[in-house]
């Protein structure tokens, strides 16, 4: 199985899909195409996992949904602020193109493993820490806006504007 070491995520308006350009463990470049339909399922799983099982939430004594949303927003902003600047992975003429039909998700204690699958049986895997997952979700959120796809699946805490929740008279800070 191919292991993806690093990816660059981009929206292609001509394809109306998300393109992941990846460097593999064998130093090859691979291009994975993800449809909106598949991403909706993947993102739904990740967002649900973050809202119910992420360490920031499960270790918190805050049980109020508004407080949890605020904690999620803070964790999301923190992860995005720590996203390292790196050169984009560039496709080359020899890059294979895979249309991803299915993604297996394996949640561990501190890591999420994705196995991308094509119709012809080819597979590639990539793992994310919780922080890396939040960073990738931030990137996908930006691409989603660029694509002008419906925003209904994204929770409020992904918008990055916590000013309305933090420090207002109705939301005490502890």
Kindly list the domain boundaries of the chain, sorted by start residue. Answer: 2-46+82-154
The helix (H) or strand (E) run that includes residue 84 is: none
Q: Give strand pairing partners of 22.
A: 7, 30
Per-residue pLDDT of the chain (174 residues; tens, 9 = 90+): 999 999 999 999 999 999 999 999 999 999 999 999 999 999 999 888 887 766 555 555 556 666 666 666 666 676 667 767 878 899 899 999 999 999 999 987 778 999 999 999 999 999 998 888 888 999 999 999 999 999 999 988 887 654 333 333 343 333
Tokens 């012809």 belong to residue = 120
Please tell me whether the overall predicted TM-score, pTM, comes out greater than 0.85 for this model: no
């Amino acid at each position: 199985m191919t292991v993806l070491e690093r990816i660059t995520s981009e929206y292609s308006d001509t394809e109306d899909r998300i393109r992941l350009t990846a460097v593999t463990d064998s130093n090859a470049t691979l291009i994975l195409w993800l449809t909106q339909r598949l991403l909706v399922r993947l993102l739904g799983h990740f967002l649900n996992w973050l809202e119910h099982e992420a360490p920031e939430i499960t270790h918190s004594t805050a049980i109020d949904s508004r407080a949890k949303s605020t904690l999620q927003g803070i964790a999301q902003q923190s992860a995005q602020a720590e996203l390292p600047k790196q050169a984009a992975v560039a496709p080359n003429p020899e890059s294979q193109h895979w249309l991803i039909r299915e993604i297996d998700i394996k949640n561990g204690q501190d890591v999420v493993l994705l196995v991308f699958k094509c119709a012809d049986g080819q597979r590639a895997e990539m793992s994310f820490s919780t922080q890396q997952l939040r960073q990738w979700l931030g990137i996908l959120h930006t691409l989603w806006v660029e694509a002008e796809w419906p925003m209904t699946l994204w929770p409020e805490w992904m918008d990055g504007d916590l000013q309305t929740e933090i420090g207002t008279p109705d939301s005490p800070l502890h």
